[in-house]
Amino acid sequence: MRVARRESILKDGRRLVIRSADRVDALDMIDCLKQVATESTFLLSYPDEITYTESEEISIIDRFLNAPTSAMLVAFVDNRLVAISSIMGQSRRRKMCHRAELGISVLRDYWGLGIGARILATLIEAAKNAGLEQIELGVFTGNKRALALYRKMGFVETGLVPQAAKLDDGTYYDEHRMVLMLDRAIEDVLINPEY
């Protein structure tokens, strides 16, 4: 689905633009994902595992734009792509079509500016408008910033997956599973996501 473009001013005075990803963003999105993967071990992939070609990324973008319960957003600060996020409807089957999985990544230089909260508010609103009833996500242990943000936005922990990720050095991360029931979503977040 396509999500309406949003603009706001960040804590440091710069302009943030959040909009649906489009085909012209493909190469910048690949570069952003690779950079984010070098900056944090809390993502699902290592940088060398991000091997999408431009045409493959365009196909992914097209699938999101044409899906009724999925959306992929990009965020720009001063015309630089700094974040990528998505909600993905879990299934077309009637028993599962009320659920979506969320993912978000922000370049390290742009942490602490409220970008994540504004992207999440946009995705929550899009999910509600699409008729979804809950958003789910996973957060690796140790990712305290993400856990705090998701809790602030109304997500609650539903369980823990032990050893959900194994790093190259042999250490493991457990994964906190979280859910936001959209009928109970924080209305303030949707109305005024100025965090």
pLDDT greater than 70 at residue 186: no
Average pLDDT (99-117) is 95
Q: Which pairing describes strands 99-106 and 134-140: parallel, antiparallel, or unpaired?
A: parallel
Element (H, E) at 13: none
The CATH class of 6-191 is alpha beta
- The CA–CA distances, whole Å, from 169 to 40, 45, 165 equal 14, 14, 11
Q: What is the pLDDT of residues 21-73, one digit of tens each?
A: 999 999 999 999 999 999 998 999 999 999 999 999 999 999 999 999 999 99
Per-domain residue ranges of the chain: 6-191
- The answer to pTM > 0.85 is yes
Helix residue ranges, H only, the chain = 26-39, 54-66, 115-129, 144-152, 187-191
Give the pLDDT band (50/70/90) at residue 191.
very low
Check: CB of residue 21 under 8 Å from CB of residue 72.
yes
Name the average pLDDT for the chain: 92
Residue 59 CB partners (closer than 8 Å, separation 6+): none
- What's the pLDDT band for 188 if we cut at 50, 70, 90? very low
pLDDT for residue 134 is more than 80: yes
Residue 91: which residues within 8 A CB-CB, separation 6 or more? Answer: 97, 99
